[in-house]
Every structure is written in structure tokens, then in C-alpha cells.
Amino acid sequence: MVSVRLDYYIRSVKLLCNIVGGDRIQSVDQELTLNTLIRDLDFIPNMQQTGITYTWSCVDLNTGLACPRSTGAAISLTANVASQTFPPYYLKKYTSLRFSVTGTAAPKGCTASAVITVTDWQHTLQPMTFPHFFLYNNLNINEFMEFKVDINGDLNPDQVTYNVLFLYQGGVVGNQSVFYPTFRIRILDYFSAF
């Protein structure tokens, strides 16, 4: 007679973390709600979100400091909740904010992040003419690029200043106020990280 012994080992799996919607652009005049989905797959489906604690943080990617409110003070994050809601005009416009949430169900944990770029859709966004020379040639980051704001009927050409927002891959890398619809920037001043 032959006996066979089978041993089964069940390994615990990591928590599954996600901020629903991921990275996105948000207008300052709209309410922002961030929902997180953190599940412990070691439990049956209706128990996967029990016993999880939530820790939120937020960093302004342009300054490296805590995310600012429109007043300049740091935003307030509610402790140990699965979602955060911010009313219209609460967040500072023209910023890129990295929201992170860490879920913990001892001894396991996980972290998810989403970058929210806050802009102002109420003001008409005007396209800029991008110099074709820069599209097809190598760039020296010390070079200056000249831009021209395309003025149409929605933009007042007598306006004293133009506020220009620089976006790169969906995030704000800088902003500038200029006094003329044609202006120059040095690449190094805004894109030194690349």
C-alpha cells in the first residue's frame, strides 16, 4: 500500500489599491471627489473592504510642499475615509497635485496615487502658435522659444496681462503672466527636469 501526502500552502496576497479615475484635469469651479478602492483579496467579496484604514496625503508637484487651497493655506484631508471631496474653488488653480492614499490591513498595506491638474475652464483657453522649427529639430534647453497667443473674438486684445499655463503630458510644469500676446520663454526655465 502506498500512501500519498499532499500539503497545501495558502499564501496571503497583497492589498489591491486604486484611486478611481486616475490622473486627470479638473476645473477649479467643479467639485472634486476622489474615491479609492482598496480590497483585501484574502476575504470573500462582501468582506474585502473590512478592517482597512486609510491614510491620505497630497503634494504640490511644482513646489514639493503640501497641496495649497485657493487661499494659500494647506488643504485639509479627512482621516481614515475611503474618499475625499473638495468643493468648487477650494483648490488652488494652475497646480498639479499628487494625491496618495495608503491602505493598511495589518500586516499588509498598499499605496495608490493620482495626479490632479487644477485649471480654470471658465476662462477661455486660447491656443498658441508653436514654432515649427522646434517640432522637427534638436533642441538646446538653453534656447528661447517664441510664442504667439492666437487672439480670437473671445479674448480682449487690450487686456493688460495674459496668464499662460504650461502643460506637459497632462501636468502643469509652470505658469507665467505676460504683458503681450507674443512672448519668449527659455526652455531650461520650465523643462529642466527633462
Domain ranges across the chain:
15-119, 128-191
| Contact present, 187 and 141 (Cβ < 8 Å) | yes
Full DSSP string of 118-149: EE-TTSPP--EEPPHHHHHS---TT-EEEEEE
pLDDT surpassing 90 at residue 57: yes
pLDDT surpassing 50 at residue 194: no
Buried b (16+ CB within 10 A) or exposed e, 13-47: eebebbbeeebeebebeeebebebbbbbeeeeeee
Cα–Cα distance for residue pair 160/83, rounded to 1 Å: 41
**CATH code linked to domain 15-119:** 2.60.40.10
Q: What is the pLDDT of residue 170?
A: 59
The pLDDT tens digits of the residues spanning 81-134 come to 999 999 999 999 888 899 999 998 888 889 999 988 888 766 555 555 555 655
| Beta pairing class for 162-168 and 24-27 | unpaired
Closest listed residue to residue 98, CA positions, set 55, 66, 53:
66
The pLDDT tens digits of the residues spanning 28-50 come to 989 999 999 888 777 656 665 67
The average confidence (pLDDT) of the chain is 76
pLDDT surpassing 70 at residue 173: no
